[in-house]
Amino acid sequence: MMFKFFFRAIALIVAVIVAVPAYALFVTWNSAHNPSSRTMADVIVIPGAAQLDGTPGDVLQARLDQAVRLFRAGVAPLIITVGSGAPGDRTTEADSGRRWLINNGVPRSAVIALPEGRDTLTQTKAYVKEMRTRSIKSVVIATDPFHCQRAMTMARDLDADPFCAPVSDGPNSLAGSTNRYLIREAGAYLAYITLGRRGIHLSDHLG
């Protein structure tokens, strides 16, 4: 009797160990391949990624390109760029993005730069705080497909109403991504829902 109980307990533990990461992989993959069909929001948000002396890196550039497409399509009247800089940087991810958007035809009045955070959670807290000051709630996040699930989950946990518009080109698009990036994002999502929600903050900065 004791042996059967022990065997069942071990089997349950193994099942959980397998099922939980599998769930994280599935929802991360599913969000990437089945984005929302919603077409209107209060604001477009561009999570930060690496820039060099004010020039967006490839990952950030793809997010900026997507945001411009959304803005020109009338999805939202306002864009928020977010992200601080690395130690020694002369500008921030947010300011680099804002400058590029303005230089490419987006009105200055339609772009807000929030130079805060080098990880998704800190950046999400920054832009949701800004949204609250403006009494707006719906947000479309222009980011990498495999980043969508985690970015939306964090925004939803802060009482925003998010959906994702994944980039269609660049190194982290579906065509450019590898399984390694899927696994990385699924792991980061799992870390957030198991640890991050309990106040254990893990950095996830993407260069």
pLDDT in tens, 150-164: 999 999 999 999 999
Residue 179 lies in a domain: yes
Residue 34 lies in a domain: yes
What is the total count of domains within the chain? 1
Residue 9 has pLDDT above 60, yes or no: no
**Worst-scoring range by mean pLDDT, 12-21, 37-46, 191-200?**
12-21
Residue 178 lies in a domain: yes
Q: What is the pLDDT of residue 11?
A: 46
Residue 205 lies in a domain: no
Residue 180 lies in a domain: yes
Confidence label for 18 from pLDDT (cuts 50, 70 and 90): low
Residue 135 lies in a domain: yes
Residue 109 lies in a domain: yes
Q: Which residues constitute the domain of residue 86? A: 2-198
CATH number of the domain to which 171 belongs: 3.40.50.620
Residue 94 lies in a domain: yes
Residue 83 has pLDDT above 60, yes or no: yes
Residue 40 exposure: Cα atoms within 13 Å on the Cβ side: 1
Residue 48 tokens read as 């930060």
Whole-model pTM?
A: 0.89
Residue 201 has pLDDT above 70, yes or no: no
Find the length of the chain: 207
